[in-house]
Amino acid sequence: MRSLPVIVAAVLATAAGGAVAQGADPNLARNLAATCSSCHGTDGASVGGIESLAGMAKADIVRKMQDFKTGRRSSSVMQQLAKGYTDEQIELIAGWFAAQKSPR
């Protein structure tokens, strides 16, 4: 019977360690935003005809992404991409780009 508390403690320690290991990825926002680089440039600083996202207000990016996601704004590429993100992922992406230095 003495081993029962030890077993319970070991199970709880293992479960707690797993929860810490599965915590939020500190690079998640950056990694999600990296998928935009082929069109919007590295770190959101576009060098072409596509709008730069770096330094844009977070609320503006979220609104535009939601408009693409719901179909209020049309674009064959962006509508499909936006539908693939959750609202939380859109918030992360927008926050990351808003924190970048504007190319202007």
Asked, for residue 82, whether it belongs to a domain, the answer is yes
* CATH number of the domain enclosing 93: 1.10.760.10
Burial of 15 (0-12, 13-18, 19+ CB in 10 A): exposed
Q: Per the structure, how many domains does the chain have?
A: 1
Number of Cβ atoms within 10 Å of the Cβ of 20 = 7
Asked, for residue 81, whether it belongs to a domain, the answer is yes
What predicted TM-score, i.e. pTM, was given to this entire model?
0.75
pLDDT in tens, 52-82: 999 999 999 999 999 999 999 999 899 999 9
List, as own/partner pairs, every contact residues 49-52 make where C-beta atoms lie below 8 angstroms and the sequence separation is at least 24, other chains included. 52/102, 52/103, 52/104
Asked, for residue 17, whether it belongs to a domain, the answer is no
- The CA-to-CA distance between both ends of the chain, in Å, stands at 70
Residue 73 domain boundaries: 25-98
**How wide is the angle at C-alpha 92 spanned by C-alphas 61 and 63, nearest 5°?**
25
Asked, for residue 7, whether it belongs to a domain, the answer is no
Asked, for residue 76, whether it belongs to a domain, the answer is yes
Cα–Cα dist 15/47, whole Å: 48
Asked, for residue 75, whether it belongs to a domain, the answer is yes
pLDDT in tens, 12-31: 444 444 444 556 898 999 99
